[in-house]
Amino acid sequence: MPFQCSDCEKTFIRKCNLVKHICVKLEKKPLQSSICQRIFAQKNYIDKHLKNHVKEKPFQCIVCGKAFAHKQSLLVHQRIHSGEKPFQCVQCDKSFTERQSLVRHIRIHTGEKPYNCPHCEKAFAQKTNLTKHQKLHTGEKPYQCNLCNKAFSERQYLIQHQKRPYHCSHCDRCFTLKRTYLNHQRVHIVEK
């Protein structure tokens, strides 16, 4: 279970449950974002979070001009320009610009998979992979091709599909080359 209370070492599957637990210990009411309903234990955290919603980005990179809502985000970004990678893996020679990237990387060595699917027995090392996987259970396909209306669960699959501009109207096949598409059409003509 990935979320652990540093005070009593109680663990939680969801971060929001840990936040609620901390609020109870501090005898505080959890603070909830009025925009996205996320909850926070402390006012400074919700204030920081709300900046993301209003898109206020007062911290600007002097090298490339990219702007950030938080000073820490700018400092991490500037490592791209400086080449600084202060977080190094002790098991191999890889290093990273962010601590969280190192934490995710270490799971390759440990085999840890803290993100469990509530619908099946699969587990994942990264939360993004769990989110992608869960779309298999829900059948959610929010990315739709504007040429053939075929829908995809991931944006990358739509992009890959759109790189093949020739869509067969008889089946689900798509082709990169017009010549290959026309050859394929013969299959349907023979079938008829």
The domain spanning residue 184 has which CATH number?
3.30.160
pLDDT at 21: 76
Residues 12, 49, single domain; the answer is yes
pLDDT at 137: 84
94 lies in a domain?
yes
Per-residue pLDDT of the chain in tens (192 residues, 90 and over written 9): 467 777 777 777 777 777 777 766 666 666 777 667 677 766 777 777 777 776 778 889 999 999 888 888 899 999 999 999 999 999 998 999 988 899 999 998 999 998 898 888 899 888 888 888 888 888 888 888 877 778 888 888 888 887 877 878 888 788 878 888 888 888 887 654
Residues 39, 76, single domain; the answer is no
Please give the Cα distance from 132 to 50 (Å, whole number): 26
115 lies in a domain?
no
pLDDT at 83: 93
Residues 31, 67, single domain; the answer is no
For residue 41, give its domain range. Answer: 3-54
152 lies in a domain?
yes
pTM, whole model, 2 decimals?
A: 0.50
32 lies in a domain?
yes
List, in order, residues 6 or more apart from 102 with CB less than 8 Å away: 87, 88, 89, 95, 96
Please give the Cα distance from 32 to 19 (Å, whole number): 11
8 Å CB contact between 112 and 129: no
Structure-token pair, residue 90 = 């002790």
The domain tally of the chain equals: 3
14 lies in a domain?
yes
Q: CATH number, domain at 90?
A: 3.30.160.60
Please list the residues that pair with 116 across neighbouring strands. 123
